[in-house]
Structure 1
Amino acid sequence: MLETRLDTARIRAARRMIAPVFLDTPLYRCEALEPVLGCAVSIKLETANPVRSFKGRGTELVAGLLAENGPRAAVCASAGNLGQALAWSGRGRGLDVTVVASRFAPATKLDRIRALDARLELVDGDFEMARERAVAIAGHEGVRLVEDSLDIETCEGAATIGLELLDSAPAFDAVLIALGGGAMATGVGHVLKTFAPGAEVICVQPSGAPAMTRSWRRQRVVTTESTDTIADGVAGRRPIPEVLDDLLLVADDAVLVEEASIIAGMGLLLDRAGLVVEPSAALGIAAILEDRARFADRHVVTIVCGGNVDAGSYRRWVGMGLDHKP
């Protein structure tokens, strides 16, 4: 068994604890993508739930444990999806939830956090500044600080995706996972490397937000001064050391992709699969577009991890992508 922070027994227990609305998301072969991409592609659709992302798997664990034995309040920093998920899970259990986010985050994500009755505090900076403010609130008010990827529940919640992939047939050769803080990559990676070690675990990050990928390649934490990507959900600058340690054990590769490929991937998912996704969810398709030879004649799973995107920005990006089809 892999010596990560994750525990297989806890992951199996998590699957029993997470609300069914987040479990068993669609997994299907999308043949319409294959003539363009040159490989067999299956989609794991994590947008098919009330918060339109995989984050609810982890927040269900956090909120459930707090409701049973913990403070009745929680705070998190979020680029948008974690905050929405924590607000949803907390509201269902009567928890007071505070979300700290950048005021430059997509308005759609911020509006949905408010609609779920969470207290929303905005900072004049990026996610890392929001994280600092969330830490300060937790210390001052004595509430539970939920840190995505550092809190093991967020990783083990995401790891239940891996259990669902194991139940699939036929077998797949590689899984493409969007890489931000690392919860999904370490969670799914842990399950696959434990039970399906022949499947390649490939993490994908934008070139404009490369901190975790650079850290994985150098096997030490590498920070960046800024980020420059439309994929706001994975735009971190300071990798968490404990998460990097886990990632080093389960990832076979970490690749960077360009913005044009992300946009093209979003366009393909709309045009060929009928899916409206946020940029982070198109990273797997972008990776295939940039290296078709690597994936030729293989069966690849891409996890479509989120669908919370500003409508105006989406129309602008996808219009560009469809004007320049790959």
Structure 2
Amino acid sequence: MLSLDKVFDAQQVLKNIVRETGVVRAYGIAPDCELYLKPENLQITGSFKVRGSAYKIAMLSEEEKAQGVIACSAGNHAQGVALAASKNGIQSIICLPDNAPISKVEATKGFGAQVCLVEGCYDDAYQKALQLKEEMGYTFVHPFDDENVIAGQGTIALEILQDLDNIDAIIVPIGGGGLISGIAYTVKQIRPSIKVYGVQASGAPSMYNSIRDGSIECLDSVQTIADGIAVKQPGQNTFQLVHDYVDDIALVTDDEVACAILALIENQKMIAEGAGAVAVAAAMFGKFPIQGKRVVCVISGGNIDVTSLSRVIDRGLRNSGRSSSLLIELIDKPGQLKDISRIIADCGGNVTGVHYEKGNTESVHGCFLRIEMETRDFEHVRLITQSLRNENFKII
């Protein structure tokens, strides 16, 4: 059974394997509270997952180590198992969903694992791993529903409590629930007054639904940019631990996650993947009663593919009013673009793109002009739009 002694033992075992990621103060992200970040995106392998997998593998018998290990993962657990297995001279096979970011697939191979790509999502990879486990006799290293894995993740709580006094709340991402189970269990044993809040993506609310309805539920499908927490069904152990020790769970949208990723880049010079940013998204968008409180957000990972990052940044800019576009119906005559550009410039906007097209307008001489702009916020967009209307331009 999970115990506080096991968490402390994990801390000793992991001392020469994982990096202690010091808590850092964050400014300008959630001004209503005193916000701190636990940057597990700076962990070895770029994610907290190495803690649980390394402790689990350290606890295997010599016979189990000789047989080798198998795991399934959306990416981060894969790298943790691969690294821990390599350090112990153990063969490892990792089943990943075929839509896992390329960076995570290549990193897993780089840590010495054999990769098996499986069509579908995490749960499909999970079934394939169980099949191979039975066929080949490997030891299965579960990504979240295992007491040793949960104990390894609980070492994050020990570090937070060591770094910071008078904490009011800790906000933690939830996928299958291993991370928040370890943190919540450990925190409530040592300092039960601290609130532990969990966050899931609205496109993958498996734990949220299960806790709300009082029993484990399996989603038909998951769809979110936070691929690291896109899990259809929580585990038996993690469901019970979350039920017993977590104070509340909230959902965040992909748009909110994109804004959080952008805020971390701009304000903290910190890269987080979608799953890693959901706790910050919850703090930014008021999902929990943390006004005036000292709060720690766990940044669970930073392994985001660079092509995905560019799309997320674009989405974050649009959702915060920093980037916008206007479609304007015009009479096609000289000087129109000059006048529009002047109005936007006078309002402090910056034109970044212009696209002209003829279309189905009221006048045979009509056309459409799409203007892409850099703006400050939505109020700035409204100012520009109204200024154009004041000079009789028709905004579509």
Report the TM range for the smaller structure's normalisation.
over 0.9
Shift in CA distance, 116/196, structure 1 to aligned 2, threshold 3 Å: same
Point out the structure with max Rg over C-alpha.
2
1:131 matched to 2:133? no
Q: Which residue of 2 aligns with 1:121?
A: 116
Contact 2:52 2:149 in 1 (8 A): yes
- Which one is further off, 289-298 or 122-131? 289-298
The residue aligned with 1:175 is: 170
Q: Which residue of 2 aligns with 1:266?
A: 261
- Letter matched to residue 214 of structure 1: N
State whether residues 178 and 203 of structure 1, in contact with CA within 8 Å, keep that contact through their aligned partners in structure 2.
Answer: yes
Q: Does the alignment pair 1:221 with 2:219?
A: no
Q: CA deviation at 1:34?
A: 4.2
Query: Which residue of 2 is the match for residue 57 of structure 1?
Result: 51
* C-alpha contact (below 8 Å) 2:184/2:246 kept by paired residues: yes
Shift of 1:68: 4.7
Contact 2:255 2:319 (C-alpha < 8 Å) held by counterparts: no
The answer on whether the counterparts of 1:44 and 1:303 sit within 8 Å (CA) in structure 2 is: yes
Sort the Cα spacing of 1:133 and 1:183 in 2 relative to 1 into closer, same or farther, 3 A.
same
> Are the equivalent residues in 1 in contact too, given 2:255–2:315 (CA < 8 A)?
no
Where in structure 2 are the equivalents of 1:50-129 lying within 5 Å? Answer: 50-66=44-60, 68=62, 70-72=64-66, 73-129=68-124
Q: Residue 320 of structure 1: CA displacement?
A: 2.1
Listed one character per residue, the Cα deviations across residues 38-74 of structure 1 (whole Å, up to 9, x for unaligned) are 2110000112232000011111112222375523200
Separation (CA, whole Å) in 2 of partners of 1:241 and 1:66: 22
Displacement after TM superposition at 1:114 (Å): 1.1
CA distance in 2 between counterparts of 1:292 and 1:244 reads: 21
* Residue in structure 2 matched with residue 301 of structure 1 by the alignment: 296
Q: Is the Cα contact below 8 Å between 1:192 and 1:199 reproduced in 2?
A: yes
Pair 1:244 & 2:273 matched? no
What residue in structure 2 maps to residue 27 of structure 1?
23
Alignment-derived partner of residue 3 in structure 2: 7
- Is the CA contact (8 Å cut-off) linking 1:19 and 1:60 kept in structure 2? no
Is the 1:158–1:184 contact (alpha carbons within 8 Å) kept by the matching residues of 2? yes
Aligned mates of 1:113, 1:292 — CA distance in 2: 34
Code of the residue aligned with 1:141 in structure 2: it is M
Q: Is the 8 A contact 1:217 1:254 kept in 2?
A: no
Contact map agreement 1:101 1:121 (CA 8 A) in 2: yes
Q: In 2, are the aligned partners of 1:74 and 1:143 still within 8 Å (CA)?
A: yes
Residue 57 of structure 1 aligns with an amino acid whose one-letter code is R
8 Å contact kept, 1:203–1:254: yes
Deviations 1:58-101 (A, max 9, x none): 11112222375523200001000000110011111110000001
Q: Separation in 2 of the partners of 1:293 and 1:208?
A: 19
Q: CA deviation at 1:182?
A: 0.7
My pick for the range that moved more, 65-74 or 272-281, is: 65-74
Contact 1:203 / 1:251 at 8 angstroms: preserved in 2? yes
Instruction: Confirm or deny that 1:163 pairs with 2:165.
Output: no
Superposed displacement of residue 265, structure 1: 0.4
Match for 2:278 among 283, 288, 291? 283
Give yes or no for the alignment of 1:184 onto 2:179: yes
**Which amino acid is 1:295 matched to?**
I
Q: Does 1:153 align with 2:148?
A: yes
Using the TM superposition, give the Cα deviation of residue 241 of structure 1 relative to its aligned residue in structure 2, in angstroms.
2.1
What's the CA shift string for 1:2-53, capped at 9, x where partnerless? Answer: xxx4211111111000143524212121134343xx2110000112232000
Partner of 1:140: 135
Measure, in 2, the Cα distance between the counterparts of 1:34 and 1:325. 14
Q: Gaps (5+ residues) in structure 2? A: 322-396
TM-score by length of 2: 0.78
Tell me by how many angstroms 1:304 deviates. 0.5
Q: TM-score, normalised by structure 1?
A: 0.94
The answer on whether the counterparts of 1:90 and 1:97 sit within 8 Å (CA) in structure 2 is yes
How many Å apart are 1:288 and its aligned residue?
1.7
The residue type paired with residue 246 of structure 1 is L
8 A Cα contact 2:53 2:143, kept in partner: no
Shift of 1:296: 1.5
Counterpart residue number, 2:34:
40
Would the alpha carbon gap of residues 293 and 283 (structure 1) be closer, same or farther in structure 2, given more than 3 Å must change?
Answer: closer
Q: 1:254-298 deviations in whole A, cap 9, x for unaligned? A: 111111100000000000000011001111111122217822211
Which one-letter code corresponds to 2:90 in the other structure?
L
Decide whether aligned partners of structure 1 residues 69 and 167 sit closer, same or farther in structure 2, where only a CA change above 3 A counts: farther
Structure 1 unaligned runs (5+)? none
Sequence identity (%): 27
